[in-house]
């Protein structure tokens, strides 16, 4: 008999956690999935940005440092590493975009993490 399909893969853990404050500027962001994803599907499917404050007359956003995304098969997780420390006291958004798939082809549900860096 045919095996029932596995559930859609989702994000089950992140470090830092959503809405975390005073995060070290040298943070390595870790995002863990509920099951294996296809490492080839991750390319260009993770976006990182600073979040505008929304207040009138706010200073322009600093330039975001370059970053790399790697997949840890044993942990079912991706890790985002920044080439330089993130800017001080900035809200950072990390997005898992549409297009990442599990090994069986099921799509990962898009997901967003937001945290704020500290001053050191």
Cα 119 → chain centroid? 21
- Separation of alpha carbons 6 and 95, rounded Å: 24
pTM of the prediction? 0.90
Which pLDDT does position 57 carry in this prediction? 66
pLDDT tens across 58-103, in order?
778 889 999 999 999 999 999 999 999 999 999 999 999 999 999 9
Q: If DSSP codes are grouped into helix, strand and coil, which group holds residue 88?
A: coil
Contact (Cβ atoms closer than 8 angstroms) between residue 78 and residue 42: yes
pLDDT tens across 5-40, in order?
788 999 999 999 999 999 999 999 999 999 999 999
């Amino acid at each position: 008999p045919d095996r029932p399909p596995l559930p859609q893969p989702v994000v089950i853990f992140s470090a830092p956690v959503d809405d975390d404050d005073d995060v070290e500027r040298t943070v390595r962001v870790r995002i863990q999935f509920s099951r294996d994803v296809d490492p080839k599907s991750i390319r260009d499917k993770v976006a990182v940005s600073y979040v505008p404050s929304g207040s009138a007359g706010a200073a322009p956003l600093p330039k975001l440092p370059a970053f790399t995304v790697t997949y840890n098969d044993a942990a079912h997780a991706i890790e985002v590493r920044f080439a330089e420390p993130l800017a001080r006291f900035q809200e950072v958004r990390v997005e898992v975009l549409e297009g990442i798939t599990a090994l069986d082809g099921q799509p990962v549900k898009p997901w967003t993490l937001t945290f704020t860096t500290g001053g050191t």
